[in-house]
Structure 1
Amino acid sequence: MKTSFLTGAALCVLAAAPAWAQGPALITVKDAATGVVLPNATVVLDGQPLPPTGGGQFEFTMGDGPHELRITFVGYEPLVRQYNGRPDSRYLDFGLKPATVLTGEAVVTAQRASDRTATAYTNVSKEDLAKRNFGQDLPYLLDQTPSLVVTSDAGAGVGYTDLRIRGTGTTGINMTINGVPLNDPESRGAFLVNLPDLASSISSLQVQRGVGTSQNGGAAFGASINISTLDSRREAYAESQNSYGSFNTWKNNLQFGSGLLGGHFTVDGRLSRIATDGYMNRASSDLKSYYLAAGYQGKSTQLKFITFSGREKTYQAWNGVPEPAITGDPALLQTYIDNGELSAANAERVRQEGRRYSYYTYDNQTDNYQQNHYQLHLSQGLGPDWNIGAALHLTRGFGYYESFRARRRLSAYGLENVVIGSQTISRTDLIDRKWLDNYFYGGTFALNYQPRSNDRFQATLGGAANRFDNEHYGEIIWAQYATTIAHRQRYYFNDATKSDYNVYARATWQLLPRLGVYADLQLRRIDYRIQGINNDQRKLDTRADYTFFNPKAGATFTLAEGQQLYASLAVGQREPVRSDFTDRPAGDVSAQAERLDDFEAGYRFNRADLRLLGPRTTLRLEANGFYMSYQNQLVATGQLNDVGTPLRTNVARSYRRGVELTGFVSADDKISFSTTQTLSQNHILDYRGVSYDANFNPIEAASRTSTISYSPALVSAQTLEGQPLKNLRLALLYKAVSRQYLDNSENQRRSLDPYQVLDLRIRYAIHPSFLKEIELALLVNNLLNREYVTNGYTYSYIGASRREETFNWYYPQATRNFLASVGVKF
């Protein structure tokens, strides 16, 4: 695939950058008494954390108007500076005095990677998220981060969305919010549709690729996403963002905060609603959420209570569309009809609706779910060198999806046949609801040692104890034919419980002036039980216990100012998810736990004081190589169960290896270009595919090396952003993904075509005297109006032709569409 046109555009525009030059300041934070640099300080400009540039430095750019710079570090007093426009000097040294008010960073520090941990990671600031936050789900706001691929069932980024990093979906991506696990403990998925507009409350976010550092929750097999919402602003504020766009998409939110009251107390909140008809027909979403935080800050104590909740109602779009709806092939459509995959009526709708076809027509074929989160966080200083972060949490989830079922066997629902005169009726139309009702609760802690007199050594002891109780049951709310049936009669019920305990110890030590070492040890224990009857009337009696030891180690070497080499080796082990146990064919062995040995090595270059394209140029480069060797990896087969969950199977040996290249160049914040390229090989060793002959006998293929499903060899993203006029910012965002196979056969007939997408973003800020800011923004998605597909599934069997037939279903994405927003800051 070609990405050179955007790169060329970037170079042309950068050549003109000197005319736009206006450089940011470089900040160095030190101990006021000893002069020791404090590279892990938190530097916040106007409520938004600044990422470190390396060597203990931070950079920022100020435009016109008043600004507040706030610097904090555990064990020190906060430092606050007010500016009106640019500072007088480009190089600013700040000294912090001992005895601080703790910040929320003390809680999340134990979860984050840094230049000392020798891992591959990307920090995403609140400002980065706000640039693209027009109402789409969080995965779409992270689309430009390395190795990341996004997809949307409804086609436009609202509703059920998903992401994969290095080919691994959310069941292998560990997500936490303020150190509390977000992934569903049974399915391991992180269903962000349950927390709409979460991005508006995020203060910072870090994506770790590979195994990463030890965290609470399941081991990461593709990545970790660590979310923090703990920061509070010292000044009172009120903000609102309102968006409207294609497919009748609406986003409205209101955010507010009290600032620091009486020197100790803060209150922050948000109310949000997002609604859309969806790109796919009848793929609507109605999403509501709130966020509320109340905190207390003392000399060495911070206590914060946070509650947030989301409620979603989405029309089911998880079936996707059949292949002939994409290709328009009438012969292929007839094959779907002949084999009962589509009725004649549905086939006619395929002809009429094309790629926006929706399988369901029942008016309440919806998913309905609510998730309430409660967190209590404590940060406590324990003298000048120690602090502890601890949290108690409760997540309450409940909801159902409702479905119309045509001509279902009564016996499949535990009902007797209906006898009317001489006629015996064994099938009926009915409407059912499948329910989840669960509680997830527990506690986490992290004890941090960070000597004030010597920043060469840092250590953390942390862990968590969590329990998950989940009831699965189904109800019949209507049936055309039935014997005596109770109102909302249950036809299956099973109860699942899962206990998860982990403890970890991590330390970094600057062994020599240029050489640092890192070690991280985690012990994790899981106890999982399922009892009851499944929806197919099978008895479920599952008991699984696991104990995992996951060591990690690494080293960093400083070549010169702003240049670093690093390497690490990490082990991750993980238990199967619920569907790996419940959806296996009768007689199949139980799913096995997975093991990953992850080797990462790379080079970083980070300088903010170069003179390449004008008075000041920032340049960041990174090349990261990875080799991920799996034992018993659970890979997607390409099929789904009846609620759209991918089915998986163990493969004995497999690997992912590749290189991630990232770069960023900025000319005085007036124009910038970022790029990321991932080139990888993702293979199963000794793979044996199975097909069938005309007599339904299985035919096992010869052993060979095959590509892992849903694992593209190329993932590329570029962003070109410039400020041609004061307060006006333009950005082009480009994404390219190579071919992805829907199963592990490496059969191009069962694959997703490569695709390239270009988006345009325009933002214009106004600063009237009666408001802090009004921002007008426009996002044009898929500017070139490409028809492309980001996800799908497949299955094969001996069809009506007495030959093996393949049936592909896809999730097409929206053609050109827009979202426009008005943001107001009071």
Structure 2
Amino acid sequence: MKKILLLATLIPFSSAFSQEKDSIKNIQEVVIQSEAGRLQAVNFHNINPAKSIQNVGKEPSFLLSESVPSVTAYSDTGGNNGYSYYRIRGIDQTRINVSMDGAPMNEPEDQGSYFSNYPDIFNSFDKIQIQKGVGLSKNGTASYGGSIQLFSPDLKEKNLEFGANYGSYNSMRLYGKYTSGIKNNMGIHVRLSEIYSDGYKYNSSNHGQSAFISGGIFKDKSTWKFNALMGNQRNQLAWLGVTQEQIDKDPQTNGSRDEKDRFFQTFLQVFNQTKLNKSSSLQSSIHYTHLNGNYDFNLNNFIGLPENGEIYNYAFNSNFLGFYTNFQNKFKNGKIVAGINGNVYSRNHTGSELTLGELYRNTGFKNDVSAFAQAEFKFGKWLFSGDLQYRFANFKYKGDVGMNDLEWNFLNPKVGINYLINNESNIYFSLGRVGREPTRNDIFMGNDNLMLDENNQVALGTITPEYVTDYELGYRFSKEKIKLEFNFFYMGFKDEIVLNGNFGPNGLALTNKVDKSYRLGAEISFNYQMNEHWNLKNNSSFVYSRIKEENVSFSPVLTPKFIVNQELNYKLKNLTINVTSRFQDSSYMDFSNTAKLPSYVIFNSGVLYDWNQWEIGFFVNNITNKRYYNYGYTEADGTGKYFIQMPRNFMASLKFKVF
């Protein structure tokens, strides 16, 4: 019924748009202020999911890991659907800022943004920018390990298409999307998607729907855009790992038992860009996110006791409202940008048990406000930049146990130098420092409801912030057939909050605070168009990381030293053949550095054929049927638990473009 109402609402708009001829000559592209350009001293990568041959409904985490150096990904189910997770340089996604058209999408309490809540989300985006390190100032959650910026669809190109995919383990996707083009100074994009998979592991199915609407009104001096993203999902959970013995006996073993989740999330945004005069402009946006859902927790299975039918449930209902305003003024040899951002957030938590009913109820309140100023000055071939952000965040709690309010203040400076060698190449250096407050899960030590300790005191974990100082040195080269990006980095941390490889009583990963730590490495991206038929791509990274604690030095968990992604494309008329490989080095699963995830190499391939308005594809992943793991942890007794990923699997796709 929701889909029928949505379509009924959109039909008058799409009909009106189709009456007029395109008039896009005066339409100017909207550039979000936090988006980095080629001449800025920022380590960034732009990707276009629409042009990725492997974008056939798989979770965005895997597309990022295939396209960008230093990114790792894994899924709970072992397949390409359901819950997936990513890390940049070994830094988990709660420290990675995610935004759409500048509006923050991270949940403020636990600072994560989960693409699985919006199934098939990348099917609507023409451009995504990943900034690694501290990057430019962002709104909302700190851009601590990096940022992922989503940009609403370009409405200029008219398009109507339908697609269907089907593959191993009953994995399927159905979608339809329509882009009107710009007509009478207006445009609209609409997409509806349905995704389902049994999952590779037993009882790990994923079923989700999503809708995305993006509309724009374009005037000579003003642009208005509206984004509405809605996701609904139902999962059988598979977040617990299994032992090597269980995998050897049956690789599809699911460590979780009789657990499901149900989540509905909506993101709404209104954006305006107004040209004040020839040199200055103003960007403003308001946004609202609503989340409602819950997940089951089988406690006895988690702690290794015989099951007795007890199933606990954690339910959440949150509201997130915010705004930002940016002012930009350009002059002959540079520009100045200043902005302010504010967010208010509340999340209700309810814990219950299947037979006992409600056990507790509490509410977390998280607010933040930030202001920044950026300046760029060009002198000949040199471009100097500075960026200073002030950010304030506070957390309040209301429950059966009281706690004092927590407040954090951060001053985040960044400076950069870029030298334009010639029109094809440039070299840059940047230095920045960012602070980040702990998540609610860090503060509550993995508990969903605040409790008293044995001394009748409030039991709190980490409440102090962590800091990173980030050095980036890079080189970019772009010619007709060759594009090359090379980057060195050093990230020095103070009081870093790091994963310790264990899980808490609510099923979320636990962390420790360490005195000193660092990550250094090198990253390369290479694209070579050899001739009209052959194209070669490579993105690779080396990351060396150490933690120093009480005169002991060791490696952080889940941070492989080497990652190599290789891609070869062959195109002949309407036929495209794609072959990719990925090497991921071994990584530790525990602080003691005694348990390891082994290294692996996998190969994937895809074939696409365009025939009139039809596009037919067939894909084979993990061609050599490699048994591999890209996530794991250890229990208190040292037992290793692993997440196996799919063996050889297949996917067929069919796409029909009406126009």
Instruction: Name the counterpart of 1:532.
Output: 399
Give how far 1:203 is off.
2.4
CA distance in 2, matches of 1:741, 1:156: 23
Instruction: Name the counterpart of 1:623.
Output: 486
Instruction: Name the counterpart of 2:581.
Output: 734
TM-score between both structures, scaled by the size of structure 2: 0.91
Instruction: Name the counterpart of 2:282.
Output: 388
8 A contact 1:540–1:582 mirrored in 2: no
Instruction: Pick from 612, 621, 634 the counterpart of residue 794 of structure 1.
Output: 634
Superposed CA deviations along residues 178-214 of structure 1, whole A, max 9, x for unmatched, are: 1111111111111111011111111210011111111
Give how far 1:397 is off.
0.3
Instruction: Name the counterpart of 1:496.
Output: 364
8 A contact 1:247–1:279 mirrored in 2: yes
Secondary structure (helix, strand or coil) at the match of 1:379 reads: strand
Give how far 1:584 is off.
6.3
**Does 1:379 pair with 2:268?**
no
Instruction: Name the counterpart of 2:204.
Output: 283
Instruction: Name the counterpart of 1:778.
Output: 618
Instruction: Name the counterpart of 2:407.
Output: 545
Distance 1:785 1:460, change over 3 A: same
**Does 1:476 pair with 2:353?**
yes
AA matched with 1:793: Y
AA matched with 2:410: F
8 A contact 2:446–2:504 mirrored in 1: no
Residues 333-412 of structure 1: matches in 2 within 5 Å? 351=249, 354-362=250-258, 365-403=259-297
8 A contact 1:531–1:542 mirrored in 2: no
Residues 30-429 of structure 1: matches in 2 within 5 Å? 79=25, 100-103=26-29, 105-106=30-31, 108=32, 110-129=33-52, 131-144=53-66, 145-235=68-158, 237-261=159-183, 263-326=184-247, 328=248, 351=249, 354-362=250-258, 365-403=259-297, 429=309
Give how far 1:448 is off.
2.1
Contiguous gaps of at least 5 residues in structure 1: 1-69, 71-76, 80-99, 329-350, 410-426, 480-488, 534-538, 609-617, 689-702, 768-772, 797-804
CA distance in 1, matches of 2:504, 2:48: 37
Give how far 1:102 is off.
4.2
8 A contact 1:178–1:230 mirrored in 2: no
8 A contact 1:405–1:429 mirrored in 2: no
Superposed CA deviations along residues 54-91 of structure 1, whole A, max 9, x for unmatched, are: xxxxxxxxxxxxxxxx9xxxxxx964xxxxxxxxxxxx
RMSD: 2.1
AA matched with 1:525: F
Give how far 1:458 is off.
2.3
8 A contact 1:518–1:554 mirrored in 2: yes
Instruction: Name the counterpart of 1:27.
Output: none
Secondary structure (helix, strand or coil) at the match of 1:355 reads: coil
Give how far 1:434 is off.
1.3
8 A contact 2:362–2:399 mirrored in 1: yes
8 A contact 1:102–1:381 mirrored in 2: no
Give how far 1:807 is off.
1.4
Residues 660-679 of structure 1: matches in 2 within 5 Å? 660-679=523-542
AA matched with 2:500: T
CA distance in 1, matches of 2:267, 2:49: 21
**Does 1:722 pair with 2:643?**
no
Residues 397-796 of structure 1: matches in 2 within 5 Å? 397-403=291-297, 429-451=309-331, 454=332, 456-478=333-355, 489-511=357-379, 513-533=380-400, 539=401, 541=403, 543-583=405-445, 590-608=462-480, 618-685=481-548, 687-688=549-550, 703-723=551-571, 725-747=572-594, 750-767=595-612, 773-796=613-636
TM-score between both structures, scaled by the size of structure 1: 0.73
**Does 1:823 pair with 2:655?**
yes
**Does 1:810 pair with 2:656?**
no
Instruction: Name the counterpart of 2:7.
Output: none
CA distance in 2, matches of 1:405, 1:123: 43
Distance 1:684 1:467, change over 3 A: same
AA matched with 2:556: I
Superposed CA deviations along residues 347-375 of structure 1, whole A, max 9, x for unmatched, are: xxxx4xx221013443xx21110001111
8 A contact 2:444–2:460 mirrored in 1: no
Secondary structure (helix, strand or coil) at the match of 1:478 reads: coil
Distance 1:680 1:309, change over 3 A: same
CA distance in 2, matches of 1:754, 1:407: 30
8 A contact 1:530–1:541 mirrored in 2: yes
Superposed CA deviations along residues 333-392 of structure 1, whole A, max 9, x for unmatched, are: xxxxxxxxxxxxxxxxxx4xx221013443xx2111000111111111111111222111
8 A contact 1:498–1:526 mirrored in 2: yes
CA distance in 1, matches of 2:63, 2:89: 17
AA matched with 1:355: P
AA matched with 2:473: A
AA matched with 2:254: S
How many residues are aligned here? 623
8 A contact 1:304–1:377 mirrored in 2: yes
Give how far 1:653 is off.
0.5
8 A contact 1:635–1:649 mirrored in 2: yes
Give how far 1:221 is off.
2.2
CA distance in 2, matches of 1:588, 1:396: 28
CA distance in 1, matches of 2:634, 2:101: 38
CA distance in 2, matches of 1:405, 1:165: 31
Give how far 1:667 is off.
2.6
Distance 1:127 1:270, change over 3 A: closer
Give how far 1:669 is off.
4.6
8 A contact 1:116–1:518 mirrored in 2: no
Give how far 1:126 is off.
4.3
Kindly name which structure, 1 or 2, has the bigger radius of gyration based on alpha carbons.
Answer: 1
Distance 1:226 1:444, change over 3 A: same
8 A contact 2:445–2:461 mirrored in 1: no
8 A contact 2:446–2:506 mirrored in 1: no
8 A contact 2:57–2:120 mirrored in 1: yes
CA distance in 2, matches of 1:272, 1:375: 20
AA matched with 1:548: F
| Matched-pair identity in % | 26
Superposed CA deviations along residues 767-825 of structure 1, whole A, max 9, x for unmatched, are: 2xxxxx211112211111100001011122xxxxxxxx411111100001011101111
Secondary structure (helix, strand or coil) at the match of 1:185 reads: coil
AA matched with 1:450: K
Contiguous gaps of at least 5 residues in structure 2: 1-21, 448-452, 454-458
Superposed CA deviations along residues 222-242 of structure 1, whole A, max 9, x for unmatched, are: 21111011421353x311111
